[in-house]
Structure 1
Amino acid sequence: MTYSTPTQGTATRLPAASWEEALITGNGRQGVLAHSMQTQIRLTLSHERLFWPREEPLPAPHTAPALDELRSLIRAGRPRAAAEHVTELARTEHPGYAHTRWIDPLTGAGTLTFIPDAPAWGSIHRTCDYTTGVVREELPNGIRHDVFASRADNVIVIRLSADHELAGTLQLAPLPGEPPTPADTRLTSTPHTLTLHTAFARTWPTTPTGYTLTCRIIAPGGHLRPLEPGRLHLSGARHVLLLVRTTVTSETTPAPGDPDLARLTPDFDTLLRRHTAHHTPLITRSRIRLSPRQPHPDPLPGEALLAQGPTPHLMERLVEAGRYATVCAIGELPPTLQGVWSGTYSPPWSSGYTFDGNLASAVAALHPLGTPELMLPVFDLVDTLLDDFTHNAQRLYGCRGILVPPHASTHGRHNHFGPEWCLTLWTAGAAWLARLYWDHYSYTRDPGFLRERALPFLHHAAAFYEDFLTDDGFVPSYSPENTPADSDSQACANATMDLAAVRDLVRNLLRAHRILDLPGARRWAELGARLPRYRIAPTGELAEWATPAGPLDQTDRHTHRHASHLFPFWYEGDPAFADPTLRAAAVRAIRARLAWWRSAASDEMAFGLVQLGLAAANLGLATEAATTLELMATRYWRPTLVSTHNRGALFNTDICGGFPAVVAAMLLRSREGRCDLLPALPPAWPEGEARGLCGRGGVLVDHLEWTPTRMRARLRARHTTRVRIGLPDGATRVVTLDPDQAVDVTAPLTLHQ
């Protein structure tokens, strides 16, 4: 068997013990998990809208009348009582709150297998080509499949082939195990189709009513014989084409069947060319090299690459792997916790959209690495949830504006909380999303987006904080998912994340009003003046809680996976940290949290390292930023180069966006009017290059290259603008950039060991 790894892609010799060890491909709407073993080909299909109806959306608990009481409990040093009171009120109001209510989970649609009549044991060869999205798995007996998810035709295209005649059973089946709620599932077979149709027994207006998975089979010269529902026997063909699509239906979109499958050209190469015209530009728009240039690269399989440890070559391969997974996971909707893939009825945390960290990590590299159009599904999703966000604000706190829950899938009602995980007290979600809206304008310089989509959302977000803020700040509050060291509850006052996110929202509102020449900016300046100040803890770190809450000191606890108080450094940076004392406190906070991540106690939630890495890069801490990458690279990737949530466990794709974002932030730091080149370059990367980096203010870094002694860059901008360029030697240059005339910048470079 000839073994090779795609130049831009990955490979593994290891069979898949489960779907979590799959190679992946997808077009954002349809997903494929390729998890074959030596004796059979296994492909699990999924769809971005296949959220299985599990819990009826309930009104958010009506705690607004009790808000004064909740605030009094927190101010009196009884945060646990406040968190428990919210749960008691909810359970009294509706019996559905007697248990913790999860969001509707993203589940797989079904699994297609091919079981050869004559299986063999031996080596298996599995590859994924990122530039085309084609996954190939070859069994020891020479039977292989190639599969991709077409962006052009919204269909899964599978080619089975061998150097001999194929003989075996094609089978379509539901996922193993019990679904979350009852459903009517029917399998049918004809000589050229396999179909799985599922109708959910319980649905609500926001959920699917069911789905249909249809497989059309074209076997030139072969014979297909139905065996039983969902199974066909294949013989006599050397290659077979399968066209597969999952169609999710709802009350407003009845099941259409799949007539398009019959009209598609039954030719693998033709369909692949149509697909790559859409897919390949998204993958190749940017490229990062961190290791010495190799004239004839010989890429290693994933397991051998990981075994070498955190080399620069591994880092650049993981950037590619992460970008590929993110591109494949974005269609009409943004990535869930598991992207667009699921091989189970019960994914961890129901695999929806987690707004208090995971989603932001998953999309963090889209702007810096030049695919801003893939951010639009985030805003499209938010549009569908705005009414529920408004409902949350009114019911929970009696406020105007919007309140974003930490978890959502088929609706945005704030239904998931409890006395321990008191998520109704987290109010930073809308301000955080507002930053994503502002960044989209800042990177693209699209004034229509700013006026028509970003500014209205920023107004909705800010209206809530106008009503919610008290004279002593954010009470109640929540710093995901940490508990002050001297407290018995996550409920708190004045989480630093809250004030940092709203400070950022106010700055962006003021800028938007100035750019669009709109009145009313004074209102937002007054909101900013009401915000608490940052606090430095007695031990010298930036405090995670800005002010004490009555008798509670709200002492920092650094042994935690989140680093929400570092929000000021994940994006542009807060001007308040021009104060060297505050800046030094932020550095100490990063190092304190990173010390825990280095320990054996740290395990789950890899995107906490993304938070630390982005903050370290923003502050120019090259060693610390590189350490976060090393920890992610050596703990949270399988040999398939698909990431996990815990060390070696739980299929999860949020660091597929976060890892490349940290690397990009170490090479280019940007804010309106300024870009810094190589702000956090570690000694481990003595030479390299990057193409297609993008910065805020519409800056485009077409090419950035460095050696141990010199840096060269070529820059443009989307619109004519003056930009201050920060150079690695500490010097700055002011240049005028425009779309048509590139500006070359060079500077000496010294890498300190």
Structure 2
Amino acid sequence: MTRPAPHGVTTRLPAADWEEGLVTGNGRQGVLAHSVQTQVRLTLSHERLFWPLEEPLPAPHTAPALAQLRALLRSGAPQAAAERVVELARAQHPGYARTRWIDPLTGAGTLTFTPAAPAWGSLVRHCDHGSAVVREELPCGLRSEVFVSRADDVVVLRLSAADGVDGTLGLGPIPGTPPTPADTVLTADGDTLALRTAFPRPWPTTPSGYTLTCRITAPGARVEQRGPGRLRISGAEHVLVLARTTPAPSRGPDGFGAALDALDPDFAALLDRHTPRHADLVGRARIRLTPAGQAARPPATGEELLAAGPSPHLTERLVQAGHYAVVCATGERPPTLQGVWSGTHSPPWSSGYTLDGNLASAVAALHPLGAPELMLPVFDLVESLVDDFTDNARRLYGCRGVLVPAHVSTHGRHNHFGPTWCLTLWTAGAAWLARLYWDHYSHTRDTGFLRERALPFLRAAAEFYEDFLTDDGFVPSYSPENTPADSDSQACANATMDVAAVRDLVRNLLRAHRVLGLPGARRWAALGARLPGYRVSPAGELAEWASGAGGLAQTDRHAHRHASHLFPFWYEGDPAFADPRLRAAAVRAVRARLAWWRSAESDEMAFGLVQLGLAAAHLGLAGEAHETLELMATRYWRPTLVSTHNRGALFNTDLCGGFPAVVAAMLLRSREGGVDLLPALPAAWPEGEAHGLCGRGGVVVEHLEWADGRMRARLSAREPVRVRVGLPDGTARAVGLAPGRTGEVAAPLTPRP
């Protein structure tokens, strides 16, 4: 029997700052609700509100020096190679005299309401994940309800109290000093508050500024202007605020200033139009892990949930909360490091799109949990930057195709690198993005997408590697942020990630040609034949560096937050690991990296545990996969059930997508032509059920349940297909599926330790 899930999270803790806010959003606009006992506080943001700070520069022209860079690496001087890139860049443009970052995501402004008669006492804050309404009740009895409409693209705020609403409504910039001086004007005029900011140095790819407009309806009230951005409201039955942030020049239908007069100021009507769209996205897949006998337990607050420690109940709540946050943060663009939210001018790492791990983690659950349309913004972002990626490939390496940098926001030029973080040497980005393109086709079976969007990008990615590969492989190379144990530099040769990602790219190109009936596949098979193989380290683990070059030995360093060499197990898997020796080496690599994560030293970058958990689930290591979930659940969530980057610090949404993805991977493993049910079911989950999980090959697990030593499932597919269904007892069945025709399977249950 399905137990109704608690739709949301409650906390009784006041917010110390915006990072402790409850979140709501429609992807384009976001709201952080971070009230305290004496004031309602809402910080508003917009997905395109990147402050123009760093002038886009051409990527350094290092192609003429490529032979020299390769010679340094082959002679055992990797740090000299990394430093040579910086020297060349600085000689070409004075802007490279310092480390350059991407333009930062910044908040639009903060809307506050201060009651005329505040009180101290209990504060209740609640976020309803089913409707995306955040409700906060202050001790004085004032109630705030806010959501961001997917139907009308507007922030809707209602303030109410039993005895009417009295107080001051204020609008102002987010606290702190802007990264560059800006022309900001605050106005209060009758029923409107507005904040207008003009950026001093916009680029062609950035807004020239923005307007945050708030239209106020206060039936029965006396409204008085109390200075710029402040209105005194007395005797209102309730207060309704409609707010919208509009970057300029406007990308929407309303023009600069975001006219709101056409909207009916009716909270219930606006909510009714919004809720079905939001609820559909968050509700297509459902997972229950709590034993049915515990269904009567009342919902706990976020702080009580986390204090109780790891449990199936906490896991399922974090799946729901994480997926909710990613849905709210996905609009015309995918989530940044902070989703669609920012309450600062200087977020960590500038909070753009980090393509060497963070973004992939944030969107990892969208396909498995049945929201494939929310992946399209990833491809929209990528395709908007292809010209810059093409220029990167030409300038840095003299290659055709595309070269993707690790960090992007308002442009895709390769500007962020240094002598330590030698990111221009990372070339796996395009191949990794190509996997996301293939996965979208594989889950949706949209051949139009495959032909018109995926295949052109896959080809462009492969063209780069055709030109870049040498007789001894990937030279230079980079395994994100890790340094070989026998080296003083992150610069390297033949990172296993490069090998695995390009092997995956080649396989997907060959499959795309078969699906579309196109000639020319031999070209890509020839590229695959040039790739290095995997390497097993002397200790028996899958090595993070497939081979050296010349004087580079490159021994493993397991005490590290990334697990990039496990790329083969984050998605479909590489057929090479049918070799028992390689598979055993992969298992040992997972266990070696997990041993470090158990230590006190492992503090930051929670998505490294996502990488590890996905690999463990794919390899059927139920205990190890479950341990990654426990580490994630107990270290990296606030009582608002929004994740952090470090233990208890730095608002960050990577884990919001990655945590549900690991849970889904433990319940369903999929590839073209086959799925495995409960491939990594831990003993800690003796019973449960899932609905709507989606797999590659267009397979949908409509219903999956397990209890009392048995499992049964009902499957369907998006197109006619015959699927090999692996069962948890080690057997398999071939099942014919099609739209409107389901198949059912059942088997004994064998939970893993």
Q: Normalization by structure 2: what TM-score?
A: 0.98
Aligned counterpart, 1:693: 693
- 1:277 Cα deviation after fit: 2.0
Aligned residue number for residue 625 of structure 2: 625
For 2:349 and 2:254, the matched residues in 1 are separated by 29
Task: Describe the shift of the 1:675–1:484 C-alpha distance in structure 2 as closer, same or farther (beyond 3 A).
Answer: same
Offset of residue 250 of structure 1:
3.6
Aligned-pair distance for 1:738? Answer: 0.7
- Structure 1 portions without partners, runs of 5+: none
C-alpha distance in 2 between matches for 1:16 and 1:218: 27
- Measured against aligned partners, the alpha-carbon deviations of 1:513-548 in whole angstroms (never above 9, x if no partner) come to 111111100000000000000000111100000002
The separation in 2 between residues aligned to 1:357 and 1:351, in whole angstroms, is 13
Residues 608-645 of structure 1 deviation map (CA, whole Å, 9 limit, x = unaligned): 00000000000000000000000000000000000000
Q: Hey, what's the Cα distance between the residues in 2 that align with 1:253 and 1:365?
A: 29
Q: Residue by residue, what CA displacement relative to the aligned partner does 1:204-255 show, whole Å, maximum 9, x if unpaired?
A: 1011100000000000001110010101101101311000000011499899
3-state SS of the aligned residue for 1:33?
strand
Are the aligned partners of 2:246 and 2:258 in contact in 1 as well (CA < 8 Å)?
no
Q: Which residue of 2 aligns with 1:130?
A: 129
Separation (CA, whole Å) in 1 of partners of 2:597 and 2:203: 42
How far apart in 2 are the matches of 1:178 and 1:274? 38
* Alpha-carbon distance in 2 for matches of 1:136, 1:252: 30
Match of 1:642 in 2: 642
Cα gap change, 1:295 to 1:562, in 2 (>3 Å): closer
CA contact (8 A) 1:182 1:202 kept: no
Checking the alignment, whether the CA contact within 8 Å between 1:287 and 1:690 is kept in structure 2 is yes
Q: SS at the partner of 1:433?
A: helix
Q: Contact 1:60/1:391 (CA < 8 Å) preserved in 2?
A: yes
CA contact (8 A) 2:385 2:412 kept: yes
What CA distance in whole angstroms lies between the structure 1 residues aligned with 2:131 and 2:551?
A: 60
Aligned position for 2:277: 278
Q: How does 1:131-280 map to 2 (within 5 A)?
A: 131-250=130-249, 256-258=255-257, 260-280=259-279
Corresponding residue number in structure 1 for 2:651: 651
Equivalence for 2:722:
722
Residue identity in the other structure for 1:176: P
Q: Which moved more, 1:287-296 or 1:144-153?
A: 287-296
For residues 78-97 of structure 1, the aligned pairs below 5 Å read: 78-97=77-96
Tell whether the 8 Å contact from 1:563 to 1:611 is kept in structure 2 after alignment. yes
Shift in CA distance, 688/252, structure 1 to aligned 2, threshold 3 Å: closer
The CA distance in 1 between the partners of 2:689 and 2:285, in whole Å, is 11
Structure 2 partner of 1:358? 358
| Counterpart-to-counterpart distance in 1, 2:267 and 2:58 | 49
Q: Are 2:127 and 2:134, in contact at CA under 8 Å, matched by a contact in 1? A: yes
Q: Does the 8 Å CA contact 2:44/2:108 hold for their aligned counterparts?
A: yes
Q: 1:176 to 1:744 in 2, by over 3 A?
A: same
Taking the aligned partners of 2:520 and 2:179, their CA distance within structure 1 comes to 49
The structure-2 alpha-carbon separation of the partners of 1:309 and 1:252, relative to structure 1 and needing over 3 Å to count, comes to closer
In 2, are the aligned partners of 1:636 and 1:645 still within 8 Å (CA)? yes
The letter of the residue matching 1:31 is G
Query: What is the alpha-carbon distance in structure 1 between the residues aligned to residue 138 and residue 646 of structure 2?
Result: 30
Quick one: distance in 2 between partners of 1:258 and 1:107?
Answer: 18
- Segments of 5+ residues of structure 2 without an aligned counterpart are none
SS in 1 for 2:669: strand
Aligned to 1:57: 56
- Offset from partner CA, 1:267-307 (integer Å, 9 cap, x none): 00000000012111001111000111245452111000001
Letter in 2 for 1:71: R
Name the counterpart of 1:112: 111
CA distance in 1, matches of 2:181, 2:62: 33
Alignment partner, residue 590 of structure 2: 590
Q: Secondary structure at the match of 1:213?
A: strand
In 1, Cα distance between equivalents of 2:708 and 2:389:
51
Q: Which residue of 2 aligns with 1:479?
A: 479
Which of 559-568 and 736-745 deviates more? 736-745
Q: Deviations over 1:14-58 (max 9, x none)?
A: 000000000000000000000000010000000000000010000
2:488 match: 488
Between the aligned partners of 1:358 and 1:198, the Cα distance in structure 2 is 30
CA RMSD of aligned residues (A): 1.2
Whole-angstrom CA distance in 1 between matches of 2:181 and 2:131 = 38
Distance in structure 2 (CA, Å) of the matches to 1:742 and 1:637 = 38
CA drift at 1:256: 2.1
1:498-524 Cα distance to aligned partner (Å, 9 max, x none): 010000000000001111111100000
Displacement of 1:6: 8.7
Deviations 1:351-390 (A, max 9, x none): 0000000000000000011000000000011110000000
Report the secondary structure of 2:299's partner residue: coil
Secondary structure in structure 2 of the residue aligned to 1:68: helix
Structure-to-structure mapping, 1:430-441, within 5 angstroms: 430-441=430-441
What is the CA deviation profile of residues 137-189 of structure 1, one whole-angstrom value per residue up to 9, with x for unaligned ones? 10001001000000000000000000112211111010111111111000000
Amino acid at match of 1:655: L
Assess if the C-alpha contact under 8 Å between 1:462 and 1:505 holds in 2.
yes
- Give the conservation status (yes or no) of the 8 Å contact 2:681–2:752: no
Output the CA distance in 1 between the equivalents of 2:336 and 2:519: 38
Q: How many residues are paired up? A: 749
1:448 aligns with 2:448: yes
Cα distance, 1:553 vs structure 2: 1.2
The Cα shift of 1:551 comes to 2.1
Separation in structure 1 between the aligned mates of residue 704 and residue 258 of structure 2, nearest angstrom: 49
How much does 1:550 deviate?
2.0
Q: Secondary structure at the match of 2:692?
A: strand
Contact 1:6-1:127 within 8 A present in 2 as well: no
The one-letter amino acid of 2:724's match is R
Tell me the distance in 1 between the aligned counterparts of 2:551 and 2:395: 29
CA distance in 2, matches of 1:204, 1:260: 26
Report which stretch shifted further, 513-522 or 543-552: 543-552
Instruction: Provide the C-alpha distance between the structure 2 equivalents of 1:431 and 1:279, rounded to a whole number of angstroms.
Output: 32
Query: In 2, distance between residues paired with 1:263 and 1:393?
Result: 48
Q: Residue deviations 1:584-616, cap 9 Å, x none?
A: 000000000000000000000000000000000
Q: What's 2:315 paired with?
A: 315
Q: 1:698 to 1:252 in 2, by over 3 A?
A: closer
Report deviation, 1:257.
3.6
Query: Quick one: which amino acid aligns to residue 339 of structure 2?
Result: G
SS of the residue corresponding to residue 260 of structure 2 reads: helix
CA contact (8 A) 1:428 1:497 kept: yes
Indicate the residue corresponding to 2:750 in structure 1.
Answer: 750
Please tell me the residue identity of whatever aligns with 2:133. V
Deviation at 1:409, TM superposition (A): 0.2
Distance in 1 (alpha carbons) for counterparts of 2:370 and 2:558: 34
Hey, what's the Cα distance between the residues in 2 that align with 1:169 and 1:6? 38
Tell me if structure 1 keeps the 8 A contact 2:247–2:256: no
Q: Is 2:526 the partner of 1:526?
A: yes
Task: Work out the CA distance in 2 between the residues paired with 1:664 and 1:515.
Answer: 27
Moved more, 114-123 or 501-510: 114-123
Percentage of identical aligned residues: 76
Q: What's 2:545 paired with? A: 545
- Maintained 8 Å contact 1:160/1:239: yes
Alpha carbons 2:244, 2:258 under 8 Å: kept: no
Determine helix, strand or coil for the equivalent of 1:390: helix
Residue identity in the other structure for 1:121: W
Note closer, same or farther for the CA distance 1:251–1:114 as it changes in structure 2 (3 Å cut): closer
* Equivalent in the alignment of 1:536: 536
For 1:564, the equivalent position in structure 2 comes to: 564
1:484–1:556 CA contact under 8 A, matched in 2: yes
Q: What is the 5 A alignment of 1:404-415?
A: 404-415=404-415
Q: Give the corresponding residue for 2:339.
A: 339
The aligned amino acid for 1:741 is: R
| Partners of 2:421 and 2:318 in 1: CA distance | 33
- Whole-Å separation in 2 of the counterparts to 1:708 and 1:652: 39
> SS of the counterpart of 2:48?
strand
